[in-house]
Amino acid sequence: MASTTVTTTTETTTEATSTALPPLMKAWVLHGKEDMRLEERPVPTPGAGEVLLQIGSVGVCGSDKHMFFEGRASSDILRAPVVLGHEFGGTIVGVGEGIDPARLGVRVAVEPLVPDWTSREAREGRYNIDPNQRFFGVPGLDGALQQYLVVPSDNAHAIPDSVSDDAAAMVETISVALNGVEKAALPMGSRVVIVGGGPVGLFVAQLCRAQGVGTIALVEPQESRRNAAAGFGCVTYSDLAEAGGDYDAFIDCTGVASVRHDGCYTVRPGGRAVFIGVGAEDATVPMPAVIEREVSIHGVMRYAFTWPKVIAMLEAGLIEADGLVSRTLRMDDALEAWTRPLATEVKTMVLVGE
């Protein structure tokens, strides 16, 4: 193995204020269904091309909940202990060989997707569908529910002071929404119906508003989420049947099979149905509604090249992220995100860095 040079904030004359790194850190490790334990692990060391982060905020995603309760999320299956957490940011406190020490002390938002850049998909610019990709926080690559984490330097994007730690973690969620909105290909003045008023759905609504969509309908049974959507300029409904039809695009953020099926009827001829929510492995679509009216169906797999765009939108105030945080938990209390759900929850954040 090639030797690695590591620089930490205690070995340089930079203005970073980090203290000496401890030998051990806390980590929440998922061992099996509903079996997540707070353990001690050695603080890792960055290798060539990598940086060491002191983790700030970590968002709890719906897929994290599926992994905890069901032992799987989509095609990712829990077969060995793993640290969850793929929505995160932090501060660079160590750099490996080849990384400019000037990065020390920089606050970053981290893209958790690590593609194989030699794959056909990555070479074509669609690294989000690279079949060999790795992803922080799913089985095979530990995530950010630990105090320190090593990530590729290129995945750590600097954020301005105006972007909070919570918002830095939500760049991942906004990126998913952005990919969905881009798949919907909505021109100015068009009509869209969004189903699901969780974080992804609310970010989809904000992105649609930012690009001039004329009518933004959002369907969500929970009143508090409908109120939040109304604040972003949405016409809200508690049931999809109330929303009517003739939309240019239908965007599902729930993964509910019946929603996918019925949503295809809300789309005008030549329109688009976009599936962001994962849900069950199989679902049906009404083929006459799709084929006879040439409705295009688009799946959304994560994102590609979105971090600079999203950070710029947050800095410009085009997207509201912090207001979507409904609960914050300290690191020691993180398990409550799974064991004590909130009836009005939108986004729970774990403050690992505090």
Question: pLDDT value at position 278?
Answer: 85
- In 3D space, the residue among 107, 69, 110 whose CA is nearest the CA of residue 86 turns out to be 110
Question: What pLDDT is recorded for position 354?
Answer: 79
- The mean pLDDT value for 331-344 works out to 95
Topology, domain 7-164+321-351: Quinone Oxidoreductase; Chain A, domain 1 (3.90.180)
User: What tens digit of pLDDT does each residue of 97-125 get?
Assistant: 999 999 999 999 999 999 999 999 999 99
DSSP 186: P
Name the average pLDDT for the chain. Answer: 94
pLDDT for res 283: 84
pLDDT at 96: 96
Spatial distance between the Cα atoms of 211 and 334, rounded to a whole number of angstroms: 36
| pLDDT of 4 over the 70 cut | no
Q: 261-290: per-residue pLDDT in tens?
A: 999 999 999 999 999 998 877 889 999 999
At which residue do the structure tokens 């930079």 appear? 14
Mean pLDDT across 231-235: 97
Domain residue ranges of the chain, discontinuous segments joined by +: 7-164+321-351, 174-299
Burial class (CB in 10 A: 0-12, 13-18, 19+), 212: exposed
Q: How confident is the model at residue 11 (pLDDT cuts 50, 70, 90)?
A: very low
Whole-angstrom distance, CA of residue 315 vs CA of residue 6: 32
CATH number for region 174-299: 3.40.50.720
Mean pLDDT of 10-20: 43
* End-to-end CA, the chain: 35
Report the pLDDT value the prediction gives residue 50, as an integer from 0 to 100. Answer: 98
71-85 per-position pLDDT tens digit: 999 889 999 999 999
How far is residue 44's CA from residue 66's CA, in Å, rounded to a whole number?
28
Q: In which band, very low, low, confident or very high, does the pLDDT at 8 lie, cut at 50, 70 and 90? A: low
| pLDDT confidence bin for 224, thresholds 50/70/90 | very high
CA 60 vs CA 84, 172, 334: distances in Å: 9, 11, 9
| pLDDT surpasses 70 at 13 | no
Mean pLDDT on 130-148:
97
CA distances (Å), 341 to each of 129, 192, 334, 346, in order?
32, 30, 12, 10
Quote the pTM value: 0.94
Angle between helices 165-184 and 199-210 (to 10 degrees): 70
Could you give the CA distance from residue 331 to residue 153 in angstroms, rounded to a whole number? Answer: 25
Query: Structure tokens of 97?
Result: 């060989």
Q: How far apart are CA 198 and CA 120, in angstroms?
A: 34
User: Do 108 and 156 form a contact (C-beta atoms < 8 A)?
Assistant: yes
Give residue-wise pLDDT tens across range 155-205. 999 999 999 999 999 999 999 999 999 999 999 999 999 999 999 999 999
Token output for 52:
């060491």
Q: pLDDT at residue 241 above 80?
A: yes
In the predicted model, is pLDDT for residue 5 greater than 70? Answer: no
Phi, psi angle pair for 288, to nearest 5°: -60, -40
